Amino acid sequence: MDTDDGSMALLAEFGSWLTRERGLAAESVRCYGNQAKTFLASAGGAGALSTLDAGAVTAFMVEHASERNSWSAKAMVTSLRAFLRFAHATGRTAEPLAGAVPAVASWRLAALPRGLTQAEISQLLASCDRDTMTGLRDYAVLSLLAGLGLRGAEAAGLRLEDIDWRAGEITVTGKGSRTERLPLPVPAGEALAAWLTSGRPACQSRAVFVTVRQPYRPLTSSAVRVVVPKACVRAGLPHRGAHQLRHALATQMLRAGASLPEVGQVLRHRSMLSTSIYAKVDQNSLRPLTRPWPGASR
C-alpha cells in the first residue's frame, strides 16, 4: 500500500497525538496507525482530508466491513473515529466526522469461545524442532501462550529483566500499560531457559524474543502471533490463532474447578464482562441449572 510523504508525516503526528492525548501503549498506537493508513490510501491521501465529507466516511466503512469479520471491522471503527477526531482537532477537516463512522452490528456473548484441546496444544509444541534456534524460540513462545494465556503483545514485550528466576515469576505489561507479576509454570520456565541459554543470539536488545538472523531485532507482536498458525501447519491442524490458547487455558481452569473471577484474574481481564463469555463453557456450574425437556423420559 503506497503512502505519500504528506500522509506519512500526518500518521506520525497522529501517533504522537494518541500517545500524548490518549495515553495509548505503543502497540495500540501502531495498530491505530495501520488502520488510519488504510483509510488515507482509500481517501486519496492527506491532501484530500479538507474536502472529506460524512458520506465518503460512511461509504468507506461500509465497504471495508463487508469484506472482513466483525472483530476486524470493529478495530477499524475504533481507529477511524480516533483519527477523524484528531483530524478535526488539528484543523484538517472542517466538520467533526467521527460520528459518520457507523457501528458494526454484533452481539456480545453470541458465540462460544473456541479454544484448542490439550492434545492439539501438545501437537503444536511437538511440531517445534528444538535442535534449531527458531524451534527453541517458538517452543518458548507457545509454552508461555499456553501456560499463562499471554497475549501476543505481552509476550513480545517481555524483557530479560522481567524474569525473576529465584522467585519463579515474570512481570507482564498488558493492556493499558498495566503491569502484573505472574507465577512462571515449570514447563514454560524450562522452555524459556532453553531458549535463552541455547538459542537466543547474543545482542544488544533486552527483549526476550528476538529474530534469529542479523540484525537481531525484538519480535513484534504480529511476529509472535503468527507462531501459532505456523505451528498448526507443521502439526497438520486447522488454522488457529494465539488468542485461542487463552481460551484453552480458561476452559481448562474452569473444568478443573476454578471460578470465573479466578479465570479473569489469570487472564488479566479489566472487566468481568470479558470473562463472562466463559460461563458458556463452565459446564459444572451450568449443569444444576438445566431442566429436563418437557415430555422426555427420565
Percent pLDDT > 70 in the chain is 80
Q: Is residue 278 among the annotated active site residues? A: yes
Residues 79 and 51 grouped into a single domain? yes
Question: In this model, does residue 109 exceed pLDDT 50?
Answer: no
Residues 152 and 207 grouped into a single domain? yes
Q: For residue range 111-136, list pLDDT tens digits in order.
A: 545 567 889 999 999 999 999 999 99
**Which is more confident, 186 or 69?**
186
Helix crossing, 70-89 with 5-17: angle to 10°? 90
Residues 253 and 135 grouped into a single domain? yes
Return the top range by mean pLDDT from 19-28, 99-108, 243-252, 258-267. 19-28
Residues 130 and 73 grouped into a single domain? no
Write out the H or E segment, with its range, that includes residue 291: none
Residues 258 and 210 grouped into a single domain? yes
Cα–Cα distance for residue pair 239/146, rounded to 1 Å: 16
Determine contact, residues 43/56, Cβ cutoff 8 Å: yes
* Domain assignment of residue 107, yes or no: no
Q: Is residue 243 among the annotated active site residues? A: yes
Residues 222 and 175 grouped into a single domain? yes
> Residue 51 sits in which domain range?
5-100
Q: Is residue 64 among the annotated active site residues? A: no
pTM for the predicted model, two decimal places: 0.62
* Domain assignment of residue 68, yes or no: yes
Residues 82 and 56 grouped into a single domain? yes
User: What's the structural domain count of the chain?
Assistant: 2
Residues 125 and 89 grouped into a single domain? no
Active-site hit among 175, 216, 230, 234? 175
Active-site hit among 92, 151, 240, 247? 151
Determine contact, residues 141/130, Cβ cutoff 8 Å: no
Determine contact, residues 210/217, Cβ cutoff 8 Å: yes
Q: For residue range 211-260, list pLDDT tens digits in order.
A: 999 999 999 888 998 999 999 999 999 888 887 888 777 777 767 676 66
* CATH code: domain of residue 216: 1.10.443.10
Q: Is residue 247 among the annotated active site residues? A: no
